[in-house]
Structure 1
Amino acid sequence: MSIWTRITGRNAQPVEDAKDFTLADPQALALFGIPASLSGVSVGEATAMAQSTAGACLRLISNTLGSLPVHTFKKDADGERERATDHPADKLLGGFTCPWQASSEFVQLMTFAALVDGRAYAKVTRVRGEVREILMLPRGAVRREVDEATLEPHYFVRLKSGGETRFTYQDIIELSPFGGRSPLRDAGNAVGLAVVLEQHGSSLFKNAARPGGVLKMKARLNDLGAARLRESWESAFRSGDNGRVAVLEDGTEWQALALTSTDAQYLELRQMQVSEIARSFGVPEVLISSLARGTWRNIEELSRVFLQTCILPWVNAWEAALERAVLTPAERAAGLFIEMSTAGLERGDTAARFASYSVARTAGIMTANEVRRLENLPAHPEGDSLANPNTTPGPAGATTRESEHE
């Protein structure tokens, strides 16, 4: 059995029909399980990043997740929570997951890998039971299997020296928000068609590939005459020398070519593919610089939709994946949990934000210190009261509105 058969499961092509290609060619993607889309384009990471819309969606989602702060908290019996700054996981997730990689970069790269491959993996290193490092594993180096008896997942990491090392689910962070499905591959047909449209546009405008018109004449030219006329015309205008005088002989007429309906709809087709790809990733078009349907009123609303429908599922997947591998069952039972905060994405403009704070303070929903915490300000010694800040105590201990004293 040849190596081609072991890789692809098919017999090798006859020598006379075989065609050589390098690993950089799109044809090579099929060797790694990346089939061609309906347009004939094999959509992988390099193809997607080179396509403007798909690349923008991949960058937006991974960069947004990478910008969110991740911390470890502990909840007591009364439901109050406090930051577990003494826990090793909080120091790693809030700073550097390993000496050479910041936690923000770790989250960004893991999210990007899950978008492209469907799953992303990291190894949790412990010393005497304490988490010391979180190392992102190379893409394609992990094989996942499920135990038939217990249904527990096991992970086999391929070693550079050969062979594999087996790990349990307590040692591996697995990020797979869609059950292992790759959002990029699911959007492969939309991305492939967008690539074909870009290639068509490039070919259309390359060296003025489409003629601007035709030369018509009543008499029939022989091959020599047609070649001479074509050479004469192209020598004058092929280089783009506009405004020169055309000398036409023997009753030859110039007729300009108008754009067909297909040519006129080319931009519409490209805009449609922007919508298709953005829809596949759950990204509003206005957030990837497609402002055709954006207004001042709906951009803020679409940003909230992006947070609720696209980012929050990723946040939930991240929190579950981290808690499963970084925290022990005993720690989770004791009230420890990990939170990826989206407060920064939920903040509106300054006026709207402080107006909502004022309503919450007046209604006794939030304390001053809770508001200050959201604004990244230090706590105030007298900021833990839920009393209405617009009232002052009366002589008998009652409260009277300040406005009544004025």
Structure 2
Amino acid sequence: MRLLGFEVTRPRNEKSLAPVNPNRGGWYRILESFSGAWQQNVEVKYDSVLSFHADFACRTLIASDIAKLRIKLMQQDSDGIWTETKNAAYSPVLRKPNHFQNRIQFMECWVLSKLQRGNAYILKQRDGRGVVVRLYVLDPLLVMPLVADDGSVFYQLNTDSLSGIPESSVVVPAREIIHDRFNCFFHPLVGLSPIFAGGLAAMQGLAIQNKSTKFFENGAQPGGVLTAPGAIGDDTAARLKSYWDENFTGKNAGKVAVVGDGLRYEAMTAKATDSQLIEQLKWSAEVVCSTYHVPPYKIGVGALPSYNNVQSLNVEYYSQCLQVLIEAIELCLDEGLGTGETLGTELDTDNLLRMDSVTQMEMLDKSKGIMAPNEQRRKLDLKPKAGGDSPMLQQQNFSLEALAKRDAGVDPFKTSPTGPSAAETQAANDNATASAAKDALLEIWKGLG
């Protein structure tokens, strides 16, 4: 059977393929947010964690920042210098990965899958030449890694019509899948999402938000207990509770309540200021940021750093959060597309690490002698000018070769007292020139005579 341009055959002995189990030993490990959480019925709900504002902001920030980086195809020359190039076998699929996603949408889907599930599975589609012409990000819940007895890796794919997989339980070899995985704590083929570490903090933040919502829906009036001096029946207690809820909560909060027969209202819930909800909510958001290695100020949590240097802030964010994700994508694309040793992909980080205009101009000014004027103009999206293809220096700068020839002389700096000075040398040269001119005039005069 052919699938997406390559031949798919089922292994002769399917029992030799075993699904990857990160919980080795025959027992499935319960991954708890803390020791004893399962016994205490503390559940980290995946869908709820995804809706927590800090977790949502971290994932979408990382995915959008990486997706906006243009994918460049680079070629290494004989001097070991990498320059951007185009190639008919690789450039089209990098520019348009598949029929329903552009480059940004494809890369966002890749990064979100990796962050949310710890794994990103990209299926290749080949043409008749065996060249990869389409790339599809698969639903990680529909993919299972398999390992054969000899250590060969396969992937079991379930039905995914959008990606061109019509049949269920199709097994493909590892060479047809780009598997980008994250935090492989329990098995080298099974990645782990940062939600594993930040899920409990996200659940706490959601609980604080839900509590605050109910608090303010009740008119910021804390709940309490109606007490009577004597015993009352259940029917009377239910009637009093219903009467109180209907007339003195929600939109009726703040109305004057008249109670008799010795009834007394006692507030039981602590006030919002006593519970320090804002501080707790901020702490839970900062914990989530730490699991993604995102500086909290990037998602609006906490204050901005005191120093005003845009490039330094972006470099910090790049080095501690984005760099490992970006380089992993580049390496996965190189290996998945089979670009070889002298070709490779590179995500253009110039837009991410863009400097402010003043700093950029200072950098370009200091790069004289290293960068040609046209290379500097290209950084500013300006067209090249004639004569600007070579680096330039001021005239008083000498090459090392010229300085070496000067130093090879007997007295390169003219420090000897017996030697003629520069003025004397110039005068002697002038006299010699005048004498030669005089002799030439005499010869002409004699010829005329």
TM-score (norm 1): 0.74
1:346 aligned onto 2:357: no
Q: Distance in 1 between matches of 2:143 and 2:242?
A: 61
Offset from partner CA, 1:59-105 (integer Å, 9 cap, x none): 11111111111011111111233322133322321x21123211221
Whichever residue aligns with residue 384 of structure 1, its letter is D
In structure 2, the partner of 1:61 is: 62
Q: Distance in 2 between matches of 1:231 and 1:109?
A: 50
Deviates more, 1:273-282 or 1:127-136: 127-136
Q: Distance in 2 between matches of 1:358 and 1:47?
A: 52
Q: Distance in 2 between matches of 1:111 and 1:137?
A: 12
Task: Point out where structure 2 has 5 or more consecutive residues left out of the alignment.
Answer: 1-27, 159-164, 185-190, 403-449
Alpha-carbon offset, residue 228 of structure 1: 7.5
In structure 1, the partner of 2:136 is: 135
Whichever residue aligns with residue 178 of structure 1, its letter is N
The alignment yields a C-alpha RMSD, in angstroms, of 3.5
In structure 2, the partner of 1:83 is: 84
Deviates more, 1:319-328 or 1:263-272: 263-272
SS at match of 2:124: strand
Whichever residue aligns with residue 169 of structure 2, its letter is G
The 5-angstrom pairing of residues 22-171 of structure 1 reads 37=33, 38=37, 40-44=42-46, 46-93=47-94, 95-127=95-127, 128-146=129-147, 149=150, 151=151, 153-158=153-158, 160-169=166-175, 171=176
Q: Distance in 2 between matches of 1:251 and 1:177?
A: 64
Alpha-carbon offset, residue 249 of structure 1: 4.7
Q: Distance in 2 between matches of 1:73 and 1:236?
A: 72
Whichever residue aligns with residue 123 of structure 1, its letter is L
Q: Distance in 2 between matches of 1:208 and 1:357?
A: 60
Offset from partner CA, 1:100-119 (integer Å, 9 cap, x none): 21122111101100111111
Task: Point out where structure 1 has 5 or more consecutive residues left out of the alignment.
Answer: 1-31, 399-406
Q: From the CA coordinates, give the structure whose radius of gyration is larger.
A: 2
Whichever residue aligns with residue 372 of structure 2, its letter is T
C-alpha contact 2:217 2:250 (8 A) present in aligned 1: no
In structure 2, the partner of 1:356 is: 363
The 5-angstrom pairing of residues 5-404 of structure 1 reads 37=33, 38=37, 40-44=42-46, 46-93=47-94, 95-127=95-127, 128-146=129-147, 149=150, 151=151, 153-158=153-158, 160-169=166-175, 171-179=176-184, 180-207=191-218, 211=222, 220=230, 222-223=232-233, 236-241=247-252, 244-247=255-258, 249=260, 259=270, 263-290=274-301, 292-295=302-305, 297=307, 300=310, 301-328=312-339, 332-333=340-341, 335-361=342-368, 364-388=369-393, 391=394
C-alpha contact 2:44 2:200 (8 A) present in aligned 1: no
SS at match of 1:98: coil
Deviates more, 1:348-357 or 1:50-59: 348-357
Identity percentage of aligned residues: 24
Q: Distance in 2 between matches of 1:36 and 1:195?
A: 18
Alpha-carbon offset, residue 257 of structure 1: 7.0
Alpha-carbon offset, residue 293 of structure 1: 2.5
C-alpha contact 1:53 1:277 (8 A) present in aligned 2: yes
Q: Distance in 2 between matches of 1:141 and 1:234?
A: 49
Alpha-carbon offset, residue 244 of structure 1: 4.9
SS at match of 1:154: strand
Alpha-carbon offset, residue 231 of structure 1: 6.7
Deviates more, 1:139-148 or 1:252-261: 252-261
Q: Indicate how the Cα distance of structure 1 residues 385 and 156 shifts in structure 2: closer, same or farther if over 3 A, else same.
A: same
SS at match of 1:135: strand
C-alpha contact 1:322 1:338 (8 A) present in aligned 2: yes
Q: Indicate how the Cα distance of structure 1 residues 392 and 110 shifts in structure 2: closer, same or farther if over 3 A, else same.
A: same
Q: Distance in 2 between matches of 1:215 and 1:236?
A: 14
Whichever residue aligns with residue 105 of structure 1, its letter is Q
C-alpha contact 2:201 2:284 (8 A) present in aligned 1: yes
Deviates more, 1:223-232 or 1:279-288: 223-232
Whichever residue aligns with residue 121 of structure 1, its letter is Y
Alpha-carbon offset, residue 188 of structure 1: 2.2
In structure 1, the partner of 2:6 is: none
C-alpha contact 1:121 1:136 (8 A) present in aligned 2: yes
Q: Distance in 2 between matches of 1:34 and 1:55?
A: 25
TM-score (norm 2): 0.67
Number of residues of Structure 1 aligned to a counterpart in Structure 2: 350
C-alpha contact 1:287 1:303 (8 A) present in aligned 2: no
Q: Indicate how the Cα distance of structure 1 residues 148 and 370 shifts in structure 2: closer, same or farther if over 3 A, else same.
A: farther
C-alpha contact 2:153 2:173 (8 A) present in aligned 1: no
C-alpha contact 1:177 1:317 (8 A) present in aligned 2: no
SS at match of 1:346: coil
C-alpha contact 2:123 2:137 (8 A) present in aligned 1: yes
Q: Indicate how the Cα distance of structure 1 residues 359 and 40 shifts in structure 2: closer, same or farther if over 3 A, else same.
A: same
Alpha-carbon offset, residue 153 of structure 1: 3.4
Q: Indicate how the Cα distance of structure 1 residues 75 and 280 shifts in structure 2: closer, same or farther if over 3 A, else same.
A: same
C-alpha contact 1:116 1:182 (8 A) present in aligned 2: yes
Q: Indicate how the Cα distance of structure 1 residues 85 and 230 shifts in structure 2: closer, same or farther if over 3 A, else same.
A: closer
C-alpha contact 1:118 1:182 (8 A) present in aligned 2: yes
Offset from partner CA, 1:334-378 (integer Å, 9 cap, x none): x111111111111121111111121122xx232223333333444
Alpha-carbon offset, residue 271 of structure 1: 0.8
